[in-house]
A and B are shown apart, each in its own frame.
Chain A
């Protein structure tokens, strides 16, 4: 069974920079896994931030960026704002009969 792992929690100061990562138990994450990143706040639906590794949506704040770093998918927040405090999930595509797997999520605290 494929497992996707994220940091359970991270803390960052307002204005700071933080990188969240997404690791696959099958090996290095590549662009072919089409990494997607989502933000979820309590009581709200997930909001899409990044797709296909580094592509942004029209609504994605400029401080969010996606990349591949050392075999992991990564989400970087530069100039963190208090409203960025939330849970962040990555989603990877593996194809086959169970094509999609979410990471366990990262709880980001802005303090």
Chain B
């Protein structure tokens, strides 16, 4: 059974750092692309970052230079290191699995999310 469990959220001051974890089971993170998506209060879903099976990483402009996505293949876990955090980073962060299927790209399984609040 595919399962994604996020952790690491919490309250952090502006300018601070936090590392989110996404523990995967039922598949290997290295064999898929893994994505972080957030939803800020009163807003819609926003794509944040993706790490591909080959190791390439992409970020939305608003987090470039501040956030880093990585994975630990032995722990089958994906991370999102968030530095220089801002109030506008406040959101529920979800990780999701992506699959490069024979007919196209699929984002199929999602974790329940972890709440990040940036406030003094």
Measured CB to CB, the residues of A under 8 A from B are 1, 31, 34, 36, 38, 40, 44-48, 51-53, 55, 57, 87, 89, 91, 93, 97-105
Main secondary structure on chain B at its contact with chain A?
strand
Among B69-104, those with CB < 8 Å from A are: 94, 96, 101, 103-104
Q: A91-B47, A99-B58 are in contact. Are A48 and B105 (CB under 8 A)?
A: no
Most B Cβ at <10 Å: residue of A87, A89, A99, A103: A99
Contact across chains for B110 and A102 when beta carbons are under 8 A apart: no
* Interface 0/1 of B29-65, CB less than 8 Å to A: 0000001010000001111001000000011110000
A-B pairs under 8 A by CB, number = 72
Is there an interface contact between B105 and A51, defined as CB atoms closer than 8 Å?
A: yes
Interface residues of B (CB under 8 A from A): 35, 37, 44-47, 50, 58-61, 94, 96, 101, 103-113
Q: In the complex, what residues of A have CB within 8 A of residue B61's CB?
A: 1, 98
A89 contacts across to B, CB distance below 8 A: 44-45
